[in-house]
Amino acid sequence: MIYKKYIRSCPLISIETSAAFEPVATKAYRALEHMIVTLELAPASFVTEGALIERLGFGRTPVREAIQRLAWEGLLDVRPRAGIAVAPLHPGDWLRVLDARRGVEVVLARSAARFVTREAADLFHEAALAMQKAVISGNVLAFIQADKQLDEALAIAADNPFAARVAAPLQTHSRRFWFRYKADTGLAESAEHHVALIRSILDGDEEAAARDAKKLMALLRGHAEVAATR
């Protein structure tokens, strides 16, 4: 593996190990986000805070914080006296999400190639391995989790919290659309594009990373255009 000479030395911490030290509110957020992305909470459906507390198994405060965060990201809509509405899925909105996401993904890819650390490289390797295993087994839920891991590794490697905060909700919305409209046939092709991006980042090649990010966004946009015609 090629690392740039200025890469900082830091301990290798796995995603699973890091997750063990997450605040309860973050764990509640991850669990609730996953339920929304995988349509366990159906688009345009209503749910109550009490029902979510029971399903998630966390206390009221962390669940409420998770709800507020997901509402800010546009995945939930808290309606007083009516409950909590799960965001609907309109196929044409996937195109809007990707139009907004494309530029920031290129920024993150370039920065990640420039600043990737050993810690981030380890996270990229874990995400790529998880993604490849998911493709071999045909496990769509595992692939979704690996894609989330990759996005988090990208955010860490890029060392640009401003861009990462813009990208995160767009990535979640896009992942939800992909699960709804392409999960049945898109595993191998999507994994190939993601792994190419990882390779360019770990090689420290900013131009290649930018190109691969654009190719990945183009692939997703092609899927979105097909979904929009259904």
Q: At how many degrees (to 10) do helices 187-202 and 118-137 cross?
A: 160
Q: Which residues contact 164 (CB under 8 A, 6 or more apart)?
A: 108, 154, 155, 158
pLDDT at 51 over 60: yes
Prediction pTM value: 0.88
Q: What is the pLDDT of residues 122-155, one digit of tens each?
A: 999 999 999 999 999 999 999 999 999 999 999 9
Q: What is the pLDDT of residues 79-135, one digit of tens each?
A: 988 899 999 999 999 999 999 999 999 999 999 999 999 999 999 999 999 999 999
How many CB atoms are located within 10 Å of the residue 229 CB?
A: 7
How many CB atoms are located within 10 Å of the residue 174 CB?
A: 24
| Dist CA 207 CA 205 (whole Å) | 6
Q: What is the pLDDT of residues 149-203, one digit of tens each?
A: 999 999 999 999 999 999 999 999 999 999 999 988 879 999 999 999 999 999 9
For the chain, what's the residue count? 230
User: Helix, strand, or coil here: 112?
Assistant: helix
